[in-house]
């Protein structure tokens, strides 16, 4: 077993590594020379976490720069002539004006909730508003991925969601909610509540039903903030 010293390229501190000699002098010399490229395990993990966070932020920023990348392809087409319940829903959403109060659009599937919200978001995007849009399951999945790398990266991403002009959360209450994602949703709703930034939600459930699987304490606080900061629209 040979011990070699190295200088970590990330933190510039000295380190020590060991490798088992093969008996081949040339190969052992190459392996020893590779010590110059070694990185402390904790530095490597930190670098990977930072890269993961930067990729997440870069993706979010790239999506937000263009309407074509921000809006899912299925919602690019123009709305056809509408009548009845759908026309009434679109009229209600169209009357919404940017301000502290967001929207909570609830009702059964196939009522065009998401499509009509994207119609409103396009108007705001063209007016120069910054928009981040994701489904509730995507929020949980991305948060979980970042948390597995770095709690700092997750906090930074939530801060990004907290300060964007408009946050759109589709399908609130869909899927399984973990304790960590429940806490993150509370923090996100709370910071937007305190900063008076509008959030647009869609859900098949009303706010209480959407949060029913959360702990009672957090569910009550989230529902109260949602109801105080959104205009409830039934689809």
Q: What is the pLDDT of residue 10?
A: 60
Distance CA 172, CA 103 (A): 12
Q: What is the pLDDT of residue 175?
A: 83
Q: What is the pLDDT of residue 132?
A: 93
Go through the domains of the chain in sequence order and give each one's CATH number: 2-39 (no CATH), 66-234 (3.40.50.300)
Q: What is the DSSP string of 23-61?
A: S-HHHHHHHHHGGGG---HHHHHHHHHHHHHHHHHHHHH
The conformation of residue 188, written as its DSSP 8-state character, comes to H
Q: What percentage of the chain has pLDDT greater than the value 70?
A: 72
Q: Kindly report the average pLDDT of the chain as a whole number.
A: 82
- Comparing 157 with 199, which gets the higher pLDDT? 199
Task: List the single range of 49-63, 70-84, 108-122, 195-209 with lowest mean pLDDT.
Answer: 49-63
If we measure between CA atoms, which residue out of 222, 225, 199 comes closest to residue 212?
Answer: 222
Q: Could you tell me the pLDDT band of residue 147, with boundaries at 50, 70 and 90?
A: confident
* Beta-carbon contacts of residue 122 (< 8 Å; ≥ 6 apart): 67, 71
What is the arithmetic mean of pLDDT over 187-211? 92
- Comparing 88 with 180, which gets the higher pLDDT? 88
* Beta-carbon contacts of residue 72 (< 8 Å; ≥ 6 apart): 118
Model confidence pLDDT, tens digit, residues 44-67: 565 555 666 566 666 666 666 788
Distance CA 80, CA 95 (A): 18
Distance CA 200, CA 169 (A): 6
Q: What percentage of the chain has pLDDT greater than the value 90?
A: 38
pTM (2 decimals)?
Answer: 0.74
């Amino acid at each position: 077993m040979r011990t070699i010293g190295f200088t970590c390229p990330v933190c510039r501190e000295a380190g020590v590594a060991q490798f088992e000699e093969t008996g081949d002098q040339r190969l052992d010399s190459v392996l020893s020379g590779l010590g110059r490229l070694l990185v402390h395990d904790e530095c490597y993990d930190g670098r990977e976490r930072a890269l993961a966070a930067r990729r997440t932020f870069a993706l979010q920023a790239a999506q937000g720069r263009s309407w074509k990348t921000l809006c899912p392809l299925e919602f690019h087409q123009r709305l056809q002539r509408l009548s009845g319940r759908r026309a009434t829903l679109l009229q209600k959403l169209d009357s919404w004006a940017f301000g502290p109060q967001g929207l909570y659009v609830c009702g059964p599937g196939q009522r065009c909730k998401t499509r009509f919200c994207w119609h409103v978001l396009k108007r705001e995007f063209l007016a120069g508003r910054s928009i981040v849009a994701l489904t509730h399951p995507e929020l949980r999945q991305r948060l979980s991925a970042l948390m597995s790398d770095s709690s700092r990266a997750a906090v930074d991403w939530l801060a990004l969601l907290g300060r964007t002009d408009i946050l759109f959360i589709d399908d609130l209450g869909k899927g399984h909610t973990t304790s960590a994602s429940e806490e993150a949703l509370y923090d996100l709703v709370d910071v937007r509540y305190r900063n008076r930034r509008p959030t647009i939600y869609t859900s098949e459930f009303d706010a209480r039903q959407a949060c029913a699987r959360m702990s009672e304490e957090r569910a009550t606080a989230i529902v109260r903030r949602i109801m105080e900061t959104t205009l409830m629209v039934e689809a």
